[in-house]
Structure 1
């Protein structure tokens, strides 16, 4: 049962009910609120109480203004995208061009040199990104067949053979870009990232940080 602590005017804005309530206060007998009205108010209060306890937004009654509930609960319908790793199954393959926040496409030429290019459809920039385990990928140039790899010193190069140095942890950052950190190598306990500087040249992994724009890439669909 509901405990009536709010004022009559707040719960029952009907003028006819106000007149009945006034008459009752003067000693005359006034009719009680209809059962349907009592049920509606009790149900509304129950929804508000439940929403405050769980943090959820209650459903809106068909004839009830949204502003009434909004006054009691701070509802937020925005879905936040948290930083996380891709949860691909092993063996998943994507054809992408890795476009850096510095506006360069990552590419690997036939000599194994890793570089950045402004050319949108440059053959050496088309990459096969294969998931080798949850959150870990191998990146391979389609045109040259070379794998992106990182040495112990943080230098990027193209490798003919697939090895542990070719594994990178792929993570979506809060700004929507991806970062790629070497799974095998670290520098003084810190992760080393794939990175292209403002001139499109690769940076040593130990000089790059997760928040640096040079380490941020968008995997763009091949066109």
Structure 2
């Protein structure tokens, strides 16, 4: 690292003046020029080693001036899942009301407390950023929501089967229909205190009935 040293008093005339006094010798750079050169070299070295690029975090000159050791990282919003399209997870959706979401072979959506019930194992597949499709592994039926907010099992994947997946502040997930809304409000997958599905328009994001914890299969 380069460092400019000021002239020491008493050692004779200024070096820059000496440089200009001799023919053929260019004048020495000033203190300001040396400082600017050092700053430029530091900026180039910092960028090459993974430092903060311009426009990310602090401005480069401010970073160097304050001695901030920054890294170029992308922050993910803590309330949403940014899965890549095609990502697949096998999970059991356990509600805050202590029921597992299940879809039986007739297409009925319900809640059960049976941990080893085959119909509670779900395949959660990301179809776009923050949007998932939920399918029962045992029955092959997709979780779907009708225009009226009723949950049912669909044989074929269609727009009714798309849900916006979001992680809430308490660590649970909510699943809102991507296609349907009621009066401008989102409609959520929900199981009431008896484990029965609640109409989407009657559920709210903060209701425990809409909160699900994706649990790994045991």
TM-score under structure 1 length normalisation: 0.64
5+ residue gaps, structure 2: 1-61, 69-75
Alignment of 1:12-51 (within 5 A): none
Instruction: Provide the rounded CA distance (Å) in 1 between the counterparts of 2:202 and 2:83.
Output: 29
Matched, 1:160 2:178: no
Shift of 1:84: 1.8
Deviation of 1:83 (Å): 4.6
> Match for residue 173 of structure 1?
168
Answer yes or no: is the 8 Å Cα contact 1:106–1:116 preserved in 2. yes
In the aligned structure 2, how far is the partner of 1:211 from the partner of 1:83? 16
Q: 1:126 aligns with which of 108, 121, 132?
A: 121
Alignment TM-score, normalising by the size of structure 2: 0.65
The Cα shift of 1:171 comes to 0.1
Report what 2:192 is aligned to. Answer: 197
Residue matched to 1:208: 203
User: In structure 2, what is the Cα distance between the partners aligned to 1:216 and 1:151?
Assistant: 20
SS in structure 2 of the partner of residue 84 of structure 1: coil
- Return structure 1 stretches of 4+ with deviation > 4 angstroms: none
Output the CA distance in 2 between the equivalents of 1:172 and 1:82: 10
Show structure 1 runs of 5+ residues with no match. 1-52, 60-80
Q: Find the counterpart in structure 1 of residue 133 from structure 2.
A: 138
C-alpha contact (below 8 Å) 1:82/1:174 kept by paired residues:
no
